[in-house]
């Protein structure tokens, strides 16, 4: 299992477009990938799960992956956050 803390850097937070980008990226990996916020865990391959987190600007999240490509999965998801979901 690999975990990494990320922070939402784009001002709009996670809305439909970033959520879709996360799901698209997560589905490229075989590993199970989750986001955790305030003790709530959601599947990173579920657009509705991600949106229900209500993650806004500067919200910290934990990315958790478990499986054969877990390291690459966490790195790819974290990179989306670093690039502000290519919105800014």
pTM of whole model > 0.75? Answer: yes
3-state helix, strand, coil split of the chain in percent (to 5) is: 40, 25, 35
Question: For each successive 10 residues of the chain (88 residues), what is the average pLDDT?
Answer: 97 96 98 97 97 96 98 98 90
3-state secondary structure of 11: coil
The answer to whether 17 touches 68, Cβ cutoff 8 Å, is no
For 66, residues 6+ apart whose C-beta sits below 8 A from its C-beta are 1, 2, 31, 32
Backbone angles phi, psi at 3, to 5 degrees: -130, 145
pLDDT computed for residue 72 by the predictor? 98
pLDDT computed for residue 86 by the predictor? 87
- Active-site amino acid positions: 15
Q: Would you kindly state where each structural domain of the chain is located, as residue ranges? A: 2-86
Q: Which fold has domain 2-86?
A: 3.30.1340
pLDDT computed for residue 41 by the predictor? 97
pLDDT computed for residue 26 by the predictor? 98
């Amino acid at each position: 299992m690999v975990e990494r803390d990320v922070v939402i850097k784009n001002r709009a937070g996670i809305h439909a477009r970033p959520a879709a980008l996360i799901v698209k990226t997560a589905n490229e990996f075989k590993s199970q990938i989750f986001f955790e916020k305030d003790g709530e865990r959601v599947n990173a391959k579920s657009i509705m799960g991600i949106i229900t987190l209500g993650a806004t600007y500067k919200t910290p999240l934990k990315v958790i992956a478990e499986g054969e490509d877990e390291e690459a999965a966490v790195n790819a998801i974290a990179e989306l956050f670093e690039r502000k979901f290519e919105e800014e």
